């Protein structure tokens, strides 16, 4: 395809965007709503994932050793824990260390226990895959000389199941919206095609190829997608900038988890929004052009 032909197609597609005022407005609005939701959804999901990652890194399995276990069986237990599949690392913390930790939290009043330490020796283990923490803990619990095995106590499972549920709900919602937007775009394009039926008929008679006929309509769909992406990109950027500015100092204090940095995250989200806009635009027009172009 030659340069001036491409120029001609661009002009044609832009002309018809402005000519179909209301349909353009309707489909651009649909794309806007869809992409805005996509943007907000991706923003939330990516950050929740980040939070989950941050929290996961702190998930430990606490293996409390039987009081009756002697030096030899403690060493043996350590070896056994290391051998359990899915265990990443094991750290031994004798009961003296445990008491010191307690004293850090509750003060020196506990010093009197130094003579008669009631605490257990403890192993801290981490799972290779944090999502498997529960299963790994279960296996460790079966070993000899373990008094009790503790981990996140269901909080982790809840977080993961929340993440999965909201991801699924979001995806279904977005798919429904994507189809609505594509439907509206393909209707808009159809109106253009009907309006240019005679052009198409004559184009075919004088030997224009199908691609030559198709391209202006596909470009038009692409414009609709791009126009629909403008508002979502702006809003998502402003929104994330402000959320980040307000929340980040507070989260930094809490030291538990952080939001994703403004850049490059926001560029990735915006890139995705634009890409999806272009894709639904092109796909929507493709669907209606296909029907009209059968020779």
Partner 1 sequence: MIEMINVYKKYPNGIVAANGIDVEIKQGEFVYVVGPSGAGKSTFIKMMYREERPTTGDILINGVNLATLKANKVPYLRRQIGVVFQDFKLLPRLNVYENVAFALEVIEESPKVIRKRVMEVLELVGLKHKARMFPTELSGGEQQRVSIARSIVNTPKLVIADEPTGNLDPETSWEIMNIFEEINARGTTIIMATHNREIVNTMRHRVIAVEGGLITRDEYGGEYGYEG
* Binding string, residues 151-190; x marks residues near partner 1 by CB under 8 A: ----------------------------------------
Q: Whole-number minimum distance, CB 8 to partner 1, in Å?
A: 7
* Closer residue to partner 1 in complex, CB, 198/250: 198
Asked if 11 is part of the footprint of partner 1 (rule: CB under 8 A), the reply reads no
Cross-strand bridge partners of residue 123: 63, 92
CB-side exposure of 124: number of CA atoms within 13 Å? 10
Q: Whole-number minimum distance, CB 21 to partner 1, in Å?
A: 18
* Closer residue to partner 1 in complex, CB, 144/201: 201
Total chain residues near partner 1 (CB under 8 A): 19
* Binding string, residues 186-225; x marks residues near partner 1 by CB under 8 A: ------------xx-xxxxxxxxxx-x-------------
Asked if 131 is part of the footprint of partner 1 (rule: CB under 8 A), the reply reads no
Asked if 2 is part of the footprint of partner 1 (rule: CB under 8 A), the reply reads yes
Asked if 4 is part of the footprint of partner 1 (rule: CB under 8 A), the reply reads yes
- Binding window for partner 1 (CB under 8 A); candidates: 2-10, 99-107, 240-248, 258-266: 2-10
* Closer residue to partner 1 in complex, CB, 83/294: 294
Positions that interact with partner 1 (CB under 8 A): 1-2, 4-5, 8, 198-199, 201-210, 212, 295
């Amino acid at each position: 395809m030659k340069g001036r032909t491409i120029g001609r197609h661009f002009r044609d597609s832009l002309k018809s965007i402005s000519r179909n005022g209301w349909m353009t407005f309707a489909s651009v609005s649909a794309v806007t709503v869809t992409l805005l939701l996509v943007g907000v959804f991706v923003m939330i999901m990516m950050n929740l994932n980040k939070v989950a990652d941050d929290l996961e890194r702190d998930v430990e399995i606490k293996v409390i050793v039987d009081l009756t276990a002697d030096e030899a069986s403690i060493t043996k237990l350590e070896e056994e824990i290391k051998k359990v599949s899915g265990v990443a690392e094991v750290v031994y913390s004798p009961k003296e260390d445990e008491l010191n930790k307690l004293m850090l939290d509750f003060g020196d009043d506990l010093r009197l226990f130094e003579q008669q330490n009631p605490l257990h020796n403890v192993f801290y283990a981490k799972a290779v895959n944090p999502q498997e923490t529960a299963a790994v803990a279960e296996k460790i619990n079966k070993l000899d000389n373990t008094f009790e095995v503790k981990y996140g106590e269901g909080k982790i499972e809840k977080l993961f199941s929340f993440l999965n549920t909201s991801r699924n709900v979001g995806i279904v919602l977005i798919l429904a919206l994507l189809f609505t937007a594509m439907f509206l775009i393909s209707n808009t394009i159809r109106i253009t095609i009907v309006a240019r039926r005679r052009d198409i008929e004559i184009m075919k008679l004088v030997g224009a190829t199908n691609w030559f006929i198709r391209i202006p309509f596909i470009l038009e769909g692409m414009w609709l997608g791009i126009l629909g992406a403008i508002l979502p990109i702006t809003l998502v950027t402003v929104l994330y900038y402000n959320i980040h500015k307000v929340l980040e100092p507070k989260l930094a204090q809490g030291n538990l988890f952080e939001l994703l940095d403004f850049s490059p995250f926001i560029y990735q989200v915006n890139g995705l929004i634009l890409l999806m806009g272009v894709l639904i635009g092109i796909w929507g027009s493709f669907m209606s052009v296909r029907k009209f172009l059968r020779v």
